[in-house]
Chain A
Amino acid sequence: MNESQSMGLENQQEEGLADEQNAQYLTFELADEDYGVDILRVQEIRGWDVVTRVPNAPPYVKGVLNLRGAIVPIFDLRERFDLPYQEYTKDTVVIVLRINSQSGMRIMGVIVDAVSDVLNADSNGLVNAPDFGNRVATEFIAGLVSAGDKMVMLLDVDKLLNQDQGGDSELAAAS
């Protein structure tokens, strides 16, 4: 693990995931897989509520929500990652994230199966996601970290949304 340690550190600094060595991540479940996001990016967690559908948007964009006066888009992460569809349950939550984009800070919500825990991860324990070529989209994954016997995939939230931006406009242009 020593070799990958230094690599992981470099990677973490490059990505600017967290400024400190010891970062905290909010972990959540998505189709029995564990994911994490930098806890400093989480604005709030709220239960799933009906959203207003947005016309001509990709299917994973569930709609927009009124978050104390701000119009916030809500993305279904299962659909974003092509995971099998599941009815929303009482555990289904929306994690509201702050994203840095070219035009300043944006707020977006992601729908996940359930929130699990807050993970204290030493950034030295971070490793790069293995390369699967085109078979698995790993571009949103900033790194992997072990928590007990589980592996948690840490998401790069900026890429997640900014990718959407590009993807969407291409989609819109094509249609």
Chain B
Amino acid sequence: MTIDMAQFHQVFFDESFEGLDIMESGLLEMDPGSADPEQINSIFRAAHSIKGGSGTFGFTNIADFTHVMETLLDEMRDGRRQVTAEAVNVLLASVDVLREMLTATSEDAEVDPERVKLQKAELDRLLAGESPAAEVVESEADAGTPAASEQTGWHIVFRPRSHMMRTGNDSLRLIRELASLGELEVEVDLEPLPPVSEFEPEDSYLSWEMHLLGDVSREQINDIFDWVEDDCDLSVNPISPEQTAAPAEPEKSSEPEQAAEVEAAPAQAERRATGDRRKGDRREGAKKAASSGGASSIRVDISKIDALINMVGELVITQSMLSMMGEEFDISQIERLREGLAQLERHTREMQESVMQIRMLPISFTFSRFPRLVHDLSTKMGKKIELKMTGEATEVDKTVIEKIGDPLVHLVRNSLDHGIELPENRIAAGKPETGTVELNASHRGGNIIIEIKDDGKGLDKDVLLDKAIDRGLVSPDAILTDQQIYELIFAAGFSTAETVSDVSGRGVGMDVVRRNINELGGSIEIHSEVGVGSSFVIRLPLTLAILDGQTVSIGSETYIVPLVSIIESIQIKEDMVNMLAGKGETFKLREEYLPIVRLHEVLGVKDAKAQKINEGLLVVVEGEGRRCGLFVDDLLGQQQVVIKSLEANYRKIDGLSGATILGDGSVALILDIPGLIRMAGKASIDYGKDAGKRA
């Protein structure tokens, strides 16, 4: 019986990454000196399951690495070792390395063997440095004498008990795994095999005596037999060069010998390193190819599923009630029919909501990385920063979670780097020495609001404006509102930092931040006061699957404009239109000149009713900080629409973000406002610049 283990890999990786998160947050909360044993325990448990899982799946390098971490944690758990700040830092760094290893393995790529080796050496050093048991051996290894050379292999006697197969363990698989470690000689003992008439197919009868040659640690062997140690008699004994026959005394496998482990480790690392170097060349390519794919799965709270099942039950009841009524309908029942339909509508809506709920994850998935980020960066920059997070339980669509992570990291880094001042400057400014960065998430209306707030030095409007004028982004005589000035930081290549650090300041990023947020159908606002602090408010739709749309008609066609991007809809007279350089139409809305985008031209609608500007309506929309007026025939109505992908069966179309199905079953296309504004910008460059400057 062979099972394709690969099918469980994804689950293993998902669980391991969760485990890593637990370890990381646990380590961050750990107080050196007085650690909560329960906390160490939970970190230990996470490490242990990663080790167990990776051993089972044959990711030996991960298992080996985790094992060393586990040993360290075990000693801390038992109180044999003090929890020092140094140990926590080494463990944190090890979590990073482990994460890299797992990521690489999941993408079929290779990790940098040097890095793993270094980190492992660090762990070993920590282990050896304070644990007398391993000290002697460690120094031996340090001296460059691979201790493993003393022994060339292992003598293993493996005698499964008769019920072992029934526990789901296959002896053959174990032996194959052993064979993958080194040169394996196997002798089978056929003696206990009964005659065929008495043969029980699910019992194990055979036993094996094996000589495993090569630089293999006892730990590796123990790992293989980890799951079966209670179901077999096992003895593992080293073979020394002078020792040809195995010692008779069997040894219990569950007692790992620390000395043997540490002895073998350097040799092993060496072996892995050479192996990895060979593969190193194609590593980059493989990594790239793999990272684009990636299966996505979602873990759903069982209560959500239960709620959904309930809802389906209700729906079925309503449906059967209605169909019963339909069989012998008479007009006197009209009132009951109405009631039934109202019930159906309610159930459908509730069900829609609970299906949406399934895609929702708490934003803590994204927030959880920030304590670490702040911890690391503040140490590095010599700042004292406290991170406050609220509303971590706010639920957001999974796609939003995935896409909002990087922009948030960027904004938080910016706050740390540019926002919060150095302690001495803070004291001089009369502020508390420790700066505060707040991350808040909340629901407001149909939106998710994420706020990143710091009490740092704030954005200096004058500096921003000077920089922008310097770079030619704004003309020197332009008059901009505060919000428009803050918008400048989103321009590509704009940076206010005096020095470029590896944290931020290169001026790339803020434009990407805004683009990502716009892709999610959201917006970002900045509030700031010099010397008091600044806050970035991100507004995101609750879900990407449904949007509030305004249906507009152009000729015989219907299009959907996302309601979030509409500012207002107006009708203007022809004499309000100005021509720019004879081509671009603009109109003046209060103090702004906005370009007019004639949708029927852009979309190629032939039967548009409104040709003159006063015959139709202008829908003023905003996207990526730029505004324009979309010229349409008429507004039809507002409705929630379910977004369907055009790309699934066709391809991306410029100016459209997707399609939806209207009440009558026909398809309506959803306009991509930022895309349309860009298209309009391309058509007449002068225009685009003007709009960019003023919006």
Contact = CB atoms under 8 A, between A and B. Distances in A.
Contacts of B650: 54, 64, 71-73, 106, 108
A66 B665 contact: yes
A71 B644 contact: yes
A95 to B, nearest CB: 15
Contacts of B649: 70-73, 106-108
Given A73-B649, A73-B650, A65 B655 contact: no
B666 A54 contact: no
B648 A106 contact: yes
A70 B650 CA distance: 11
B602 interface: yes
A70 B644 contact: yes
Given A56-B655, A69-B644, 9 more contacts: A52-B557, A52-B659, A52-B668, A55-B602, A55-B656, A56-B654, A57-B653, A106-B648, A168-B651
Contact of B666 (A66, A69, A165): A66
23 contacts: A54-B653, A54-B656, A55-B604, A55-B653, A55-B669, A56-B604, A56-B653, A64-B646, A66-B661, A66-B666, A66-B667, A69-B644, A70-B644, A70-B649, A71-B646, A71-B650, A71-B667, A72-B649, A106-B648, A108-B649, A108-B650, A169-B651, A172-B654
Interface string A59-101: 0000111100111110000000000000000000000000000
Report which residue of A65, A66, A172 has the largest number of chain B beta carbons within 10 angstroms of its beta carbon: A66
A71 B653 contact: no
A174 interface: no
B645 interface: yes
Contact of B669 (A50, A52, A70, A106): A52
Contacts of B654: 56, 172
Contacts of B497: none
A137 interface: no
Interface in B656-672: 656, 659, 661, 665-669
A51 interface: yes
B685 interface: no
B603 interface: yes
Contacts of A55: 602-605, 653, 655-656, 669
B593 to A, nearest CB: 27
A135 B619 CA distance: 49
A53 interface: yes
Given A106-B648, A107-B649, A56 B667 contact: no
Interface in B508-561: 557
A54 to B, nearest CB: 6
A108 B645 CA distance: 14
Report which residue of A53, A55, A69 has the largest number of chain B beta carbons within 10 angstroms of its beta carbon: A55
A66 B644 CA distance: 10
Interface in A3-41: none
Nearest to B656: A55
Contacts of A169: 651
7 closest Cβ pairs, A-B complex: A55-B603, A52-B667, A73-B650, A71-B659, A106-B649, A66-B661, A71-B644
B362 to A, nearest CB: 29
B30 to A, nearest CB: 46
Contacts of B651: 165, 168-169
A53 B665 CA distance: 15
B646 to A, nearest CB: 6
A63 B653 CA distance: 12
Contacts of B667: 51-52, 63-66, 71
B174 to A, nearest CB: 38
A125 B536 CA distance: 70
Nearest to B600: A55
A65 B648 CA distance: 13
Contacts of A66: 661, 665-667
A53 B653 CA distance: 12
Report which residue of A50, A57, A71 has the largest number of chain B beta carbons within 10 angstroms of its beta carbon: A71
Contacts of A165: 651
A53 B666 CA distance: 11
A54 B668 CA distance: 10
Interface string B186-225: 0000000000000000000000000000000000000000
Nearest to A172: B654
Nearest to A61: B650
Nearest to A108: B649
Contacts of B653: 54-57
A165 B651 CA distance: 7
Interface string B595-635: 00000001111000000000000000000000000000000
Contacts of B648: 70-71, 106
A64 B649 CA distance: 10
Contact of A54 (B644, B645, B665, B669): B669
Contacts of B661: 66, 69
A61 B587 CA distance: 36
A165 B652 CA distance: 10
A73 B661 CA distance: 14
A104 to B, nearest CB: 9
A50 B650 CA distance: 18
B242 to A, nearest CB: 62
